[in-house]
Structure 1
C-alpha cells in the first residue's frame, strides 16, 4: 500500500466546508460500520443501514 500526503487548496470557503462536512460524515460512517461489524452484523445489512443512517450511496 502506498500512502500519499497532499494539501487541498480551495477556491472558496464554501468548497472547503463541503469537503470537510463530507469527510466528517464518511469518518462517522466508517466508525459506526466497524462497531456494528464487531457486534456481528452482516456486511450486506450494514451497507443498507449505513446508506439509510448517513445518506451515503
Structure 2
C-alpha cells in the first residue's frame, strides 16, 4: 500500500492509496474529534454522513 506521512508539532498527515472499506471507515471514526479528513471528497462525505446519523440518535 503506497503511503506518505508528514508529521509536525501540530498535526500528522497521512496520504494513502487504498479502497475505502467499512473497516477503514470504522478505523477513521475511532479517532473521533482528533480526525479531519481533507480528501477525497467522497470520503469526507461518507464520514460526515456517519457522524450525522450518529448525532441524530442523540437528538431523538
Identify the TM-score tier after normalising by the shorter chain: 0.3 to 0.5
Q: TM-score, normalised by structure 2?
A: 0.38
Q: Please report the TM-score for the alignment, with normalisation by the length of structure 1.
A: 0.40
Specify which structure has the higher proportion of helix. 1
- Structure number with the bigger relative contact order (C-alpha 8 A, sep ≥ 6) is 1
